[in-house]
Chains A and B, each alone.
Chain A
Amino acid sequence: MVHTFFSPEWFLAYEMVLHFVFALITIIVSFYAFKVYNLVRQPQPKLFGIAFGLFSVSYISQFFLEFLTITQIRVIPIPILQAAIERFFDVLGIYVHIVLFTMGLITLTYMTLRERSIKTYSLLVLIALISLFFASNKIQLFYILSSFLLLYVLIHYARNYINHKQPNTLRGLIAFSLLFVGSVSVIFSFQNEVLYVMGHVIEGIAYLVILTNLILAVKK
């Protein structure tokens, strides 16, 4: 759970709810991406579906581990054991989230590239995961890495908007711009915890824009 490192205590319950909502939105997007893939059999919807599926699992795991931490705190009477268990779920939660979310972002970035090769994909995954494994400040590196990957994804959506100036492509650009801004905001949250909250709120708005885009696309 991120709150051990950056998040203010009062935000913990809100954060848990946000992660649940993010998990729901991303799994719905993933479902429709695979539905489209099933009809067109092109790599882009498949990769998009995999990326959002990984995001969803990362949010679900974070949600459950946050939930476990909160409930464990209440049932364990021994403070030192309570603290140890809380710490265990904290660390497990953040690492599962980091690995799955990074893989999701790499899949999304890979989708935007012209290159289609398992070597390129595995290279990106290995570089990111090895860097994270050996980093002394894993969480900060995770947000820095996420911001760079989101920047590449953002360039793709900017180009998509330039090529198709339509409301739906603009919403796509806005959503990924917000995800990028939210991620950058969290990088600096060790200086001010308000930035952590702000990052999550911005992320929430981004997912609402993505959900709006999806609803408008699905609507007959």
Chain B
Amino acid sequence: MTKKRDRLQIIHDILRAIQRKNGVIKPTHILYKSNLSHQMLDEYLAELLTKGLIMESSTKSGKTYSLNPKGFDYLNQYKLIVDFVDSFGLNEA
């Protein structure tokens, strides 16, 4: 697997973890489900927020993350993304 595939897979795993928790999840749960280091998770969450795939909310018990419509799209279109990226060699050079 290439770095790009890993990234697509990791993003998919994070979004799937949020979806399985009824669309709202705490960062500690994502950390557990995605099997990433704390630093890596922060980087991915920042990237997903920037790309508009997830939304951050602050509650009394801390931060939570939920899926945006674009995040749901990503999950629905994941097969297309991976197949298209592989078929046309769009993995990170």
B-binding segment of A7-15, A35-43, A193-201 = A35-43
Partner of A114 from the list B4, B51, B93 (CB cut-off 8 Å) is: B93
Considering only CB atoms and an 8 Å cut-off, how many residues of chain A contact the other chain? 32
Within 8 Å of chain B (Cβ to Cβ): is A45? yes
Whether B88 and A33, one on each chain, are in contact in the complex, defined by CB atoms closer than 8 angstroms, is yes
Quick one: which of A41, A45, A157 contacts B84, CB cutoff 8 A?
A45
Residues of B contacting A: mostly: helix
Indicate which residue in B11, B73, B84 contacts A217 across the interface (CB closer than 8 Å). B84
Chain B, interface size: which category? 20 to 34
A169 → chain B, closest Cβ, in Å?
6
B-chain residues with CB within 8 Å of residue A214 when the two chains form the complex: 84, 87
- B70 within 8 Å of A by Cβ? yes
Q: In the assembly, what is the distance between CA of A171 and CA of B84, in Å?
A: 12
| A72 contact set on B, CB distance < 8 A | none
Cβ of A44 under 8 Å from chain B: yes
Binding stretch for chain A, among B31-39, B57-65, B75-83:
B75-83
B80 neighbours in A (Cβ, 8 Å): 32, 35-36, 217-218
A168 to B81, Cβ gap below 8 A? no
Asked if B87 and A169 make an inter-chain contact with CB atoms under 8 angstroms apart, the answer reads: yes
Given contacts A45-B90, A164-B86, 8 further A-B contacts (CB under 8 A): A33-B84, A33-B90, A35-B77, A36-B81, A40-B74, A40-B85, A157-B89, A163-B2
**A–B Cβ pairs within 8 angstroms, 29 of them:** A33-B90, A35-B77, A35-B80, A36-B80, A36-B85, A39-B74, A40-B81, A42-B90, A44-B93, A45-B84, A48-B90, A112-B93, A113-B93, A156-B89, A156-B93, A157-B89, A160-B89, A163-B91, A164-B2, A164-B91, A166-B86, A168-B87, A169-B86, A172-B88, A213-B87, A214-B84, A216-B83, A218-B80, A218-B84
